[in-house]
């Protein structure tokens, strides 16, 4: 990669999540040699946000607009890695991906829009390979804890048993945090597109939408509450499962089917045992159907206290062909949609800029695990309040 002015540029730094990303980088790396900048449509708003969030006044401000492709190209040429929190990505993200893919700039986003991700694989894979750009989608709560959780589980299974797990269940054990307004907006845009393009509904349903030319085994739907006696709990459909499962199957494919071509994964939320657990599972399913209760609008979000008091804990249960079982977990110390997500995406961008050589991981359209693997896990545990734990082997 040619010498770049900045390690990281935060694009969308005046938005709700972008502000948190900038605040985190300032707090975590303000005294380091990390070179970073804030970017958005208005220099005046960037200055105001920097003052509001306690970001050093000398952090450079870059004016760039999703409607001005030339401004995105110029921004991409200045950075090793771009963070974008400007969504829905199917409305505002394509030209930035193009700019990064064509100019060898690494890129991370918070995308939970599988139809648009399907588009980027088709449209920009070759350009990213040629330039060396690592375009990494879904670097927030969807899908880092789940994608890296499965990767971590498989690595621990290989170390403990000498084999991987053809079946893994992801189970959210605990979670506290408000539903993301950006996620709700992205869902609505996906539904609008499906109304114009009926094939998009098939992409949204297919767990292998992001693995071109590969169709794996039938996967559990996770669409209704189930009682899992071996786990001692009822489990409900998990609203992020649709995007997380697609990313995990793409990771498996990009890793050369390291989990096996027969790999089966499903994801649900545990609600407890007995009748109470069953009723709670039914309630979760109803809440999923309404996209949460009054989710915030894009640009809005929880208070600082709500972010600080949030958390999540996800268990992964893997079974090997020889009948051995492994259990791992991934936990985060802030609300998943904002507090933890802002830290995860920042560390992903810095990981690409600082830790992952293009000679080792070449250009392409990636998910977090094959792009960064243990290097990102180590960063998240050291800096971002995540814990990866082996619970049983």
Q: Does residue 161 lie within any of the structural domains?
A: yes
Give the model's pLDDT for residue 188: 75
Residues 47 and 129 grouped into a single domain: yes
Residues 194 and 328 grouped into a single domain: yes
Q: Does residue 380 lie within any of the structural domains?
A: no
CB 303 within 8 A of CB 159: no
Give the model's pLDDT for residue 294: 61
Strand partners, 168: 265, 318
Question: What tokens were used for 238?
Answer: 């998990």
Residues 304 and 192 grouped into a single domain: yes
Q: Does residue 1 lie within any of the structural domains?
A: no
Q: What angle do CA 337, 338, 339 make, to 5 degrees?
A: 120
Residues 104 and 195 grouped into a single domain: no
Residues 134 and 168 grouped into a single domain: no
Q: What angle do CA 344, 141, 237 make, to 5 degrees?
A: 165
Residues 168 and 313 grouped into a single domain: yes
Strand partners, 83: 10, 108
Per residue of the chain (393 residues), what is the pLDDT tens digit?
A: 668 999 999 999 999 999 999 999 999 999 999 999 999 999 999 999 999 999 999 999 999 999 999 999 999 999 999 999 999 999 999 999 999 999 999 999 999 999 999 999 999 999 999 999 999 999 999 999 999 999 999 999 999 999 999 999 999 999 998 666 677 777 777 778 878 888 878 888 999 999 998 999 999 988 899 999 999 999 999 989 999 999 999 999 999 999 999 999 999 999 999 999 999 999 998 877 655 556 666 667 888 898 999 999 999 999 999 999 999 999 999 999 999 999 999 999 999 999 999 889 999 999 999 999 999 999 999 999 999 999 999
Residues 175 and 215 grouped into a single domain: yes
Round to whole Å and give the CA distance between 301 and 195: 29
Give the model's pLDDT for residue 289: 66
Q: What is the CATH number of the domain that holds 367?
A: 3.40.50.720
Residues 231 and 351 grouped into a single domain: no
Helix (H, G, I), strand (E, B) or coil at 296: coil
Round to whole Å and give the CA distance between 138 and 173: 21
Structurally, the chain folds into a number of domains equal to 2
Q: Does residue 274 lie within any of the structural domains?
A: yes
Does the pTM of the predicted model rise above 0.75?
A: yes
Residues 279 and 150 grouped into a single domain: yes
Note down the domain range covering 47. Answer: 6-140+343-373
């Amino acid at each position: 990669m040619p010498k770049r002015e900045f390690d990281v540029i935060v694009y969308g730094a005046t938005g709700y999540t972008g502000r948190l990303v900038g605040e985190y980088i300032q707090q975590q790396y303000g005294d380091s040699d990390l070179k970073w900048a804030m970017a958005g449509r208005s220099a005046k708003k960037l200055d105001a946000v920097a003052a509001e969030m306690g970001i050093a006044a000398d952090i450079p401000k870059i004016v760039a607009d999703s409607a001005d492709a030339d401004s995105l190209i110029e921004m991409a040429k200045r950075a090793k890695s771009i963070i974008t929190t400007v969504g829905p990505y199917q409305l505002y993200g394509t030209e930035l991906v193009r700019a990064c893919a064509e100019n060898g700039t690494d890129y991370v986003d918070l995308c939970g829009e599988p139809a648009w991700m399907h588009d980027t694989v088709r449209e920009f894979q070759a350009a990213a390979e040629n330039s060396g750009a690592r375009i990494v989608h879904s670097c927030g709560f969807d899908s880092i804890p789940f994608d890296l959780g499965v990767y971590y589980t498989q690595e621990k299974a290989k170390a403990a048993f000498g084999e991987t797990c053809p079946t893994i269940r992801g189970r959210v054990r605990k979670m506290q945090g408000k539903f993301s307004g950006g996620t709700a907006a992205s869902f609505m845009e996906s539904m609008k597109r499906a109304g114009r393009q009926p094939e998009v509904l098939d992409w949204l349903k297919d767990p292998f939408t992001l693995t071109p030319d590969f169709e794996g085994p039938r996967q559990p739907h996770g669409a209704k509450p189930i009682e899992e006696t071996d786990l001692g709990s009822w489990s409900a459909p998990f609203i992020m499962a649709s995007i997380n499962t697609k990313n995990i199957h793409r990771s498996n494919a990009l890793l050369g089917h390291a989990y096996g071509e027969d790999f089966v994964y499903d994801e649900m939320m545990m609600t407890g045992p007995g009748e109470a657990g069953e009723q709670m599972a039914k309630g979760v399913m109803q809440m999923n159907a309404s996209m949460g209760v009054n989710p915030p609008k894009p640009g809005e979000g929880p208070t600082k206290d709500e972010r600080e008091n949030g958390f999540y804990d996800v268990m992964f249960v893997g079974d090997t062909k020889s009948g051995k079982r492994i259990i791992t977990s991934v936990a985060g110390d802030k609300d998943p949609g904002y507090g933890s997500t802002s830290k995860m995406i920042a560390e992903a961008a810095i990981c690409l800029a600082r830790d992952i050589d293009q000679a080792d991981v070449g250009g392409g359209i990636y998910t977090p695990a094959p792009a960064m693997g243990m290097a990102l896990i180590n960063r998240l545990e050291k800096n971002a309040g995540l814990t990866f734990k082996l619970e049983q082997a």
